[in-house]
Structure 1
Amino acid sequence: MANSDNTTEIPKSGKVRGAKLASLPLSLAGRSAVGFGRQLIGQSGSLVFQEIQEKTAEQVFKVLGELKGGAMKFGQALSVFEAALPEEIAKPYRETLTKLQEAAPPLPTRVVHSVLAKELGEDWRDNFSQFTDKPAASASIGQVHKAKWKDGRDVAVKIQYPGAAEALISDLNQIQRFSKIFQLFMPGLEMGPVLNELRARIMEEVDYRYEAMAQETYAKVYEKDPDIAIPKVVLAADRVLVSEWLEGKPLSKVIAEGTQAERNNAGIKIARFHFTSPDRAGLLHADPHPGNFRILTDGRLGVLDFGACNRLPNGFPEPMKRLLKNALEGDAIALYEGFKEDGFVLEDVEVDPNLVLDFLLPLVEPLRTPTFKYSREWLRDQSARVGDPRNPTAKIGFQLNLPPEYVLIHRVTLGTTGIFCQLRAEGNFRDEALSWFPEIAPSTYSSPSK
């Protein structure tokens, strides 16, 4: 990756960021017009379409990678949910969006050194016996460099981009401008509280000391765990976080070339991590995309990046457990009453309880059968079922609310589902969930013999 000295920080101005994002559809329109002309003179329509998609994918990587911040986080989310798109549309973007997980355009070396000097002091090099200027990974608000700590340990040095906080605020402000439009399509959703919660949680992601506290908590409770590995924190400053290096196979490689056994192992370990962490750590890792996971040589799941964590001091929320139990039980009335009580259906909204159950049942299907295999095809079917406004079931979704305290849990549920489908993971997710939350088991469930 070549470094340029022309950039010192990421764009912060809302106008500049908006203009760069607007360049994506405008450029696509221009390429499409040229492509249409090429078809008129006899070139293959399928080849022209493929070339247009590939060039657009390259520009998506370039623009979102340069903007970083919330725009790039959106790109990382897309990298998970490409699994829901038809193959002919998703394929050209798959490799490009995967790069946004760990290989965005990096900052110039001189800017990296400047941040290190400001955060750790002019003698920052004294902390390291070796420091690699070329980043090992670049993501939405920071990039990671591999180094060797002064005591000989291999470490990951996470350095925040100058202007990252301002860029995130700018992107959130852009989203807020469209909140009234969202309200037209989803009248049951209170956008204000949701956006306020997103703002608070996203701003925590630029506080590296806050992130270090979450990571230290995770590392302590999962120390010597047979399934989960968390790197220990070595040093934390406002915009620099040093952790022990975690060597392993990136989950993106498991998705691209792993055996079915590797895929199944990754899927069940990610599920186990999310099922157990609220009760063990009082936290829920809320940034599930493949760039944040590794599979170690001993089969453990390595977890990275704790900037986005849902604080759950009382463990997994009891209302969510009740809703899951009622859905698995097939009790439409109890499910609907719980939705009303917990704010998933607003007081002035009336919905048929049976339609609410119909909406949810396929989404909890992995917890209703002894063995379930996730797939891109299943996710596409679900996306069409709940996303097509012509579908009666989809109309129910547009009338539901998302209480702000469940925003991150919803983000984790959607993100991990996308990852499972990319992995095509197969396993007994039902018994895995019920082993940690036996209280959600339906009355017809028989626990496996010990």
Structure 2
Amino acid sequence: AIPVTTGARMAGAAASSALGADKDSAYAKATLASAEAITATLAKARGPVMKFGQTLALFSQILPPEQAALLKGMSRLYEDAQAQPYEKVEKVLAVLPDGVEVERVAVAAASLGQVHRAVWTDGSPVAIKVQYPDAARAVKSDMLQLRAMLPLAKRMLPSLDVGALLEEHASRLAEELDYTREAGWMRTFRAEWQNQDITIPEVLFATPKVLVTRWMDGTPWLQVADLPEERRNRAGELLSRFMFLSPAGVGATHADPHPGNYRLLEDNTLGVLDFGSVAVGSGAFTWVFAETIRLAAEGDEDGVLRIWQHAGLVGAGTTSERLMSLLDVDTRLWTEPEFDFNIEWLGRLAGSWTDPVAALEDATALSFPPSYLLEHRALMGALTLVCSVGSKFRAGDLLRETLTTFAEEGLGQRP
């Protein structure tokens, strides 16, 4: 549960302000205390709650440094999920055909289940994703905890409709409980991308709680940064193409931008795993992102404001000058032959939020309608991964291809 002292901190901040203390300083301190309380609660919670913390962490660039660091720490906690003993999932695996040999020690674990390597009936290696028996009950319990955090999260992230983000998270968790749905999306994405250097494992068997796919070897994303420059560039470009062009090709976006879900294969194709979270009917935010960069590169700041207003992404009264200041668009993405995605560039974009009070006040100029939240999380998370490995490629060409393809498919929402 959320400590009651957190509410007292906010009340104390208001009292300090009323008594003549520095209002900005008082609220900044109270907000930092809220961040600490949320992080402490998430750290003690189970997977689904921690996964919401990871989602919030993707928006941490709008926070001052101290608060951002606390939220970003949630990603590390989520990645440290521990596998359960084989005995806990053995009964769930009883639905497998006779002759399947399952390794008892899991090779990966997540919030709702884990993955075991196995030998399929034809002798080939496979990955078996199995859901924990109590996963549905855990999701229900964890959602109660998350709703208790809403007031604090809203204080930390005023630019987001955190309540809508939470409900979106709840819907996605419910979908992730049905592995047959995930199997369907894997087949759909595989059919679209199989001749475009994106490799998605073949589905061999699926029930609501067990999913079997071909085993995929390769270099995990967290190790791609150690590869030669040519291969790093290739990995970043393929991941970017997959994220930007899937809305037009598939009508959906792979929406779990976790490094464990991507790997570079020996044939230099990108392997993509885990389709439990998919943003269906996506494309609106991806189009706004690409079109914003195009308009900014052409000096049309009023045009940027119009498309953001039309999309419901800016607050009333926001001027084009203020919006451009908040967005800090790097037009080199459009104009340079090749763009160098790296951690320094990512940090520069986040660096404009250096004053805690200004960050909280200016953030109210932006908003994120519920329909954009999952797609925004996916696209921004993927770009963060691209920067994490240091990747250089023709970003402008990809953005132009995105806008052209979207226009052909009738996507986008030009005012």
TM-score normalized by the length of structure 1: 0.71
CA contact (8 A) 1:328 1:364 kept: yes
Aligned to 1:231: 201
Once the two structures are superposed, the pairs formed by residues 17-416 of structure 1 within 5 Å of their partners are 67-72=46-51, 74=53, 101=79, 104-117=81-94, 120=95, 124=96, 126-128=98-100, 130-184=101-155, 187=158, 189-223=160-194, 225-255=195-225, 257-312=226-281, 322-346=291-315, 349-362=316-329, 365-386=332-353, 388-391=355-358, 395-416=361-382
Amino acid at match of 2:401: S
Residues 58-110 of structure 1 show CA distances to partners (whole Å, capped at 9, x for unaligned) of xx9xx95982223156359869989x999xx99xx99x966954x63211111
Q: Displacement, 1:383?
A: 1.8
Q: Displacement, 1:342?
A: 1.8
CA contact (8 A) 1:147 1:154 kept: yes
Task: Report the CA distance shift for 1:85/1:352 in structure 2 as closer, same or farther (over 3 A).
Answer: closer
Q: Displacement, 1:320?
A: 5.6
Residues 283-305 of structure 1 show CA distances to partners (whole Å, capped at 9, x for unaligned) of 20011121001111100000000
Gaps of 5+ in 1: 1-14, 23-59, 442-450
Aligned partner of residue 420 in structure 1, secondary structure: helix
CA contact (8 A) 1:356 1:396 kept: no
Distance 1:324 1:168 in 2: 39
Amino acid at match of 1:69: P
Amino acid at match of 2:207: A
Distance 1:125 1:79 in 2: 40
Task: Report the CA distance shift for 1:155/1:73 in structure 2 as closer, same or farther (over 3 A).
Answer: farther
CA contact (8 A) 1:434 1:440 kept: no
Q: Percent identity?
A: 31
Q: Displacement, 1:432?
A: 2.0
Aligned partner of residue 173 in structure 1, secondary structure: helix
Aligned to 1:52: none
Amino acid at match of 1:116: L
Distance 2:326 2:283 in 1: 29
Aligned partner of residue 267 in structure 1, secondary structure: helix
Q: Displacement, 1:357?
A: 1.6
Aligned partner of residue 98 in structure 2, secondary structure: helix
Task: Report the CA distance shift for 1:241/1:372 in structure 2 as closer, same or farther (over 3 A).
Answer: same
Task: Report the CA distance shift for 1:416/1:370 in structure 2 as closer, same or farther (over 3 A).
Answer: same
CA contact (8 A) 1:386 1:397 kept: no
Distance 1:318 1:78 in 2: 23
Distance 2:55 2:327 in 1: 26
Q: Displacement, 1:421?
A: 1.9
Aligned partner of residue 177 in structure 2, secondary structure: coil
CA contact (8 A) 1:370 1:428 kept: yes
Amino acid at match of 2:351: A
Q: Displacement, 1:235?
A: 1.0
Amino acid at match of 1:287: D
Distance 2:60 2:266 in 1: 28
With 68-77 and 287-296 compared, the bigger mean Cα shift is at: 68-77
| RMSD, matched Cα | 3.6
CA contact (8 A) 1:249 1:296 kept: yes
Amino acid at match of 1:274: M
Distance 1:425 1:210 in 2: 33
Q: How many residues align?
A: 366
TM-score normalized by the length of structure 2: 0.76
